Structure 1
Amino acid sequence: MDFNQQIIDTFRANGGEVNEPMRFGKSLVLVHVPKKDGGERVAPLAAIPEGDAWHVVGSAGGSPKHPAWVYGLRRAEEVEIEVPGDPVRTLTAKVFELADEERDSMWERFKAFSSGFAEYEKTAEGRVFPIFRLAP
């Protein structure tokens, strides 16, 4: 089974809490990203909640290229997201890409959330990681 599918299955089976194969706790959402071919991809993404919104970042583990799902979110006005809860809830969320100070402020929150995000800056060759607000 691939790594992402294992995380997705664990998320759904445990009310959105994932501690195996990595320790995420309840800090993930599953984003149903529309693909260019009309299909859909479910992406488990680290998320920072704020009010009723969830923020996700296209870090791609510090790659110099955006993950494919970034382009899907940029094309979408709305997506389905699965959020932690008992049971896991599925919501329709509008997609907003953050810019300027709002993006920079949220990036600082991601780095405070996990030191891994700060490490990604070292290998991204100057790429600015896109951050999206997903809100009902």
Structure 2
Amino acid sequence: MATPVRECSIANALAVVGERWSLLALREVFFGVRRFDAIARNTGASRDILAARLRSLVEAGLLRRERYEEHPPRHEYVLTEAGRSLHTVLLTLMDWGDRYVTEGAPPTAWRHSCGAELHPRTVCDSCGEPVRLGDSTLVHSSWREFT
């Protein structure tokens, strides 16, 4: 008998975006690259893998295809509200990679509308204090302990 697996929102989210080519395709669309050939070139993904990942991102509701040329029919990829909401997740992942994985200067930088270089942080919606490990307490979970 298989051991039951914990159900959680992290696992559910990773089922949608937890694959390298999916995240890199989303990165490109966030950078303003919306056409298949350019996304393929900038990610290094093979055309068949990228087509499958873009299709799954459209099916999951993160991207939508919009026609930009009639003859021949050509489409570009546009972020939906659900896709746009991943912006902070990708910025935070990039910041983590800059600090702990990438050697040398970060290859990409973002500037906030205030003019400062952007370093995203998660803060409490109520008090505005940064969220750090140990500062929060689990108050509800549908998880069951499996031993």
Tell me the TM-score normalised to structure 1 length. 0.26
Write 1 or 2 for the structure with the bigger share of strand: 1
Higher radius of gyration, 1 or 2: 2
Q: Which protein is richer in helix relative to its size?
A: 2
Q: TM-score, normalised by structure 2?
A: 0.25
